[in-house]
Structure 1
Amino acid sequence: MRVGDECPAPALECRKLSKAYGQARVVLAELDFMLDPGEFVAIMGDSGVGKSTLLNLIAGLDAPDSGDVLIDGTRVSGLDDDAATRLRRQKLGFVFQAFHVLPHLTLAQNVALPLLLNNLPAAHALDMLAAVGLAGRGDDFPRQLSGGELQRVAIARALVHRPRLILADEPTGNLDPDTAHEVLALFRSEAKSNGAATMMVTHSEAAAAVADRVLILSEGGLHAADHGSVQRVRSPHE
């Protein structure tokens, strides 16, 4: 970087983020977190500790009690409903355990949805399907696919509009271990090649092992995982 050049904004920044349900249950307390463009981070933790709440706050689907979420430098809590919807459409991609692929649409139509919502050419959907190993399958319907193939469609849909941030909630929870490993390697590779930062919530140490860093969410906040508990897995070409 040349002297005077501006550093790119973090893809995601959480500042003093707090959320409680009633007076007795504090889920998040002044959480600070930053995710750089292209970084892949896994979030682990016990059930009920607030992982899903954190994803909802980042996506603007729930409001924090205090603190701020910034996506690509934009403060989410400062947006009205229409602006928050536009931000999610343009800047975010989502991958879920249950795939959420629409059964009555073809694979190409499923992947093209974010493009249509952002007034972008739908033809790129076929390129994205090819990138996830489903070339020539654009006219097929979800019922013709295996679970691993359905998750590839979901990954293609999440990445097709080149979002700044991908939020993934247990993306391999419905897959067998071999398929999960294959899908995660693809997910990581495609996210990085598209320059998207990724936050993946998972209970699986095998899934977390593909991440650049692994953080544990607990009542004490976010902290780095013990290096001995999560083995790093990398492609030999990386």
Structure 2
Amino acid sequence: MVLRDEDVVPALECRGLNKKYGAGRIVLASLDFTLAPGEFVAIMGDSGVGKSTLLNLIAGLDRADSGEVMIDGSAVSSLDDNAATRLRRQKLGFVFQAFHVLPHLTLAQNVALPLLLNELPTSAALDMLAAVGLAGRGDDFPRQLSGGELQRVAIARALVHRPTLILADEPTGNLDPDTAHDVLALFRGQSKATGAATMMVTHSQAAAAVADRIMILSDGGLHAASGAPALSRTQYGSRTASRSADDAR
């Protein structure tokens, strides 16, 4: 059976999202966006335009004033708290600038956390560590790792339970350019291998260049980047990656 485009359920669909803060400050207005299964998309834009707000709405950490977030066909706003928590555990993975690796747990224990939460066999944690280049390091602790290695652990943890969607917020912001290049190549490769769709917020044109497409968030909404690509993937290593953090809310 051949599936038509209309038969494929998007990994993520945002419909008419509106969000404002304080005295009527509009952050997102009638935002529409669709992310296909397995697609890797970079979201860029100036500080303060709402990139982190968009991630928070998708992750269920904040609620839109109106509009809908659909993850793998499920409307998040229609779920009660328990169902929303289950959806986040099963369908989402997260990669952040600060790694958020738990220092008192071994690498294998850190990666196994999503498996435990989803009542899945934890043996996959060691396989995932091997997939990100950390074979034989399962009993090590985070204090023994470099920044690039810590981000590899974070990527392994985000992907180990094979989520539908990965949300990444400046995942290479704390890394030097060469390490960032290696980590991004691994991140893209592993997300494609597991079939996860990925939304990556970044200030770095070099980081965005690994994406299948680049979207620009501005006061006018979310639009495809115009003109020539920021950088080709083969040019990545010759440029300095931006290390700016996105503090927008």
Shorter-chain TM band: over 0.9
For 1:23 and 1:42, the matched residues in 2 are separated by 30
The size of the alignment, in residue pairs, is 235
Cα distance in 2 for partners of 1:51, 1:182 equals 24
User: Structure 1 residue 226: deviation in Å?
Assistant: 2.5
CA offset at residue 43 of structure 1? 0.2
Instruction: State the match for 1:94 in structure 2.
Output: 94
- CA deviations 1:163-213 (Å, max 9, x no partner) are 000000000000000000000000000000100000000000000000000
Alpha carbons 2:209, 2:229 under 8 Å: kept:
no
Provide the secondary structure at the position in 2 that maps to 1:85.
helix
Distance in 1 (CA, whole Å) between partners of 2:70 and 2:4 is: 24
Equivalent residue, structure 2, for 1:83: 83
- Cα 1:5–1:61, aligned 2, differ >3 Å: closer, same or farther? closer
Contact preservation (8 Å) 1:210, 1:234: no
Deviation readout 1:11-65 (Å, 9 max, x if unpaired): 0000001100134310000000000000000000000100000000001110100
Quote the offset at 1:80 in angstroms: 1.2
**Following the alignment from structure 1 to structure 2, what is the Cα–Cα distance between the partners of residues 205 and 2?**
37
> Mapping of 1:42-53 within 5 angstroms?
42-53=42-53
Length-normalised TM-score, structure 2? 0.91
Alpha-carbon separation, structure 2, partners of 1:47 and 1:110: 31
Aligned ranges 1:48-67 → 2 under 5 Å? 48-67=48-67
Long gaps (5+) in structure 2: 236-249
TM-score normalized with structure 1 length: 0.95
In structure 1, C-alpha distance between the alignment counterparts of 2:232 and 2:52, rounded to whole Å: 24
Residues 183-194 of structure 1: matches in 2 within 5 Å? Answer: 183-194=183-194
In the alignment, the residues of structure 2 paired with residue 105 and residue 18 of structure 1 have an alpha-carbon distance, to the nearest angstrom, of 39
C-alpha deviation, 1:145, in angstroms: 0.2
Q: 2: distance between equivalents of 1:225 and 1:86?
A: 34
Which amino acid in the other structure matches residue 156 of structure 2? A
Partner of 1:219: 219
Aligned residue for 2:111?
111
**Match in the other structure for 2:28:** 28
TM superposition shift of 1:6: 7.2
After superposition, the Cα gap between the structure-2 partners of 1:234 and 1:92, relative to the gap in structure 1 and judged at 3 Å, is farther
User: Equivalent residues in 2 for 1:121-200 (5 A)?
Assistant: 121-200=121-200
Q: Which amino acid aligns with 1:50?
A: G
User: Could you tell me how far apart the structure 2 residues matched to 1:234 and 1:189 are?
Assistant: 15
Dislocated runs of 4+, deviation >6 Å: 3-6
User: Per the alignment, do residues 143 and 228 of structure 1 end up closer, same or farther by CA in structure 2, a change over 3 Å counting?
Assistant: same
Partner Cα distance (2:200, 2:118) in 1: 24
1:44 and 1:70, CA in 2 relative to 1: closer, same or farther beyond 3 A?
same
TM-aligned CA distance change 1:205 to 1:131, over 3 Å: same
Secondary structure of residue in 1 paired with 2:233? coil
Deviations 1:127-163 (A, max 9, x none): 0000000000000000000000000000000000000
Determine helix, strand or coil for the equivalent of 1:43.
strand
Compared with structure 1, are the counterparts of its residues 18 and 234 closer, same or farther at alpha carbon in structure 2 (3 Å cutoff)? farther
Indicate the residue corresponding to 2:230 in structure 1.
230
Q: Percent identity?
A: 80
Cα distance in 2 for partners of 1:5, 1:220 equals: 28
How far did 1:7 drift?
1.8
- Give the Cα separation in 2 of the matches to 1:228 and 1:2: 34
